[in-house]
Structure 1
Amino acid sequence: MDLIGTKAYQRQKYKSIRKEEVKRNSDLFSTKLEDVLIEIVNQDDKRCIGIYWPLEGEINIKDLKYLSNQSLALPAIDQSGRMNYYEWKTNSLKKDAYGIPAPVNQTALKPEEVKLLLVPALAVDLKGFRLGYGGGFFDRLRSEKSWRSIKAIVIIPKACISLTPLPVDHWDVPFDGWISEEGYFEAHSSNS
Structure 2
Amino acid sequence: MKNLKGDIKSIKEIKRKEYKLIRNSNSSLINEKIKLNVKSTLNILLNKYHLEGKYIGIYWPLKGEVDIRFIKDINNQKVALPSSSKSKGINYHHWSNSPLDIDSNNIPAPIDEIPINPNNISILFVPAIAIDQEGYRLGYGGGYFDRLRQRDSWFSIPSFVVISNNCISKKPLPRDRWDVPFNGWISEKGLHQIEAPK
Identity value in percent:
42
The reply to whether residue 9 of structure 1 matches residue 14 of structure 2 is: yes
Aligned in 2, Cα 1:166/1:65: closer, same or farther, shift over 3 Å? same
Query: 1:18: Cα distance to partner?
Result: 1.1
Q: Which one of the candidate residues 40, 43, 48 is aligned to 2:45?
A: 40
Q: Whole-Å Cα distance in 1 between the matches of residues 27 and 53 of structure 2?
A: 30
Question: Is the 1:22–1:59 contact (alpha carbons within 8 Å) kept by the matching residues of 2?
Answer: no
Count matched residues. 190
Task: Give structure 1 regions of 4+ aligned residues with deviation exceeding 6 angstroms.
Answer: none
SS in 1 for 2:69: coil
Q: What residue in structure 2 maps to residue 66 of structure 1?
A: 73
Q: Which runs of 5+ in 2 are unaligned?
A: 1-5
The reply to whether residue 140 of structure 1 matches residue 180 of structure 2 is: no
Aligned in 2, Cα 1:183/1:136: closer, same or farther, shift over 3 Å? same
The reply to whether residue 77 of structure 1 matches residue 61 of structure 2 is: no
Q: What residue in structure 1 maps to residue 115 of structure 2?
A: 108
Per the normalisation by structure 2, the TM-score is: 0.89
Question: Is the 1:50–1:85 contact (alpha carbons within 8 Å) kept by the matching residues of 2?
Answer: yes
Question: Is the 1:156–1:178 contact (alpha carbons within 8 Å) kept by the matching residues of 2?
Answer: yes
Q: Which one of the candidate residues 34, 58, 67 is aligned to 1:29?
A: 34
Q: Whole-Å Cα distance in 1 between the matches of residues 7 and 195 of structure 2?
A: 26
Aligned in 2, Cα 1:22/1:37: closer, same or farther, shift over 3 Å? farther
Question: Is the 1:119–1:153 contact (alpha carbons within 8 Å) kept by the matching residues of 2?
Answer: yes
- Quote the RMSD (CA, aligned, Å): 2.0
Q: Matches of residues 172-183 of structure 1 in structure 2 within 5 Å?
A: 172-183=179-190
Per the normalisation by structure 1, the TM-score is: 0.92
Q: Whole-Å Cα distance in 2 between the matches of residues 150 and 89 of structure 1?
A: 22
Aligned in 2, Cα 1:49/1:22: closer, same or farther, shift over 3 Å? farther
Q: What residue in structure 1 maps to residue 193 of structure 2?
A: 186
Amino acid at match of 2:14: Y
Q: Whole-Å Cα distance in 1 between the matches of residues 155 and 31 of structure 2?
A: 29
Q: Which runs of 5+ in 1 are unaligned?
A: none
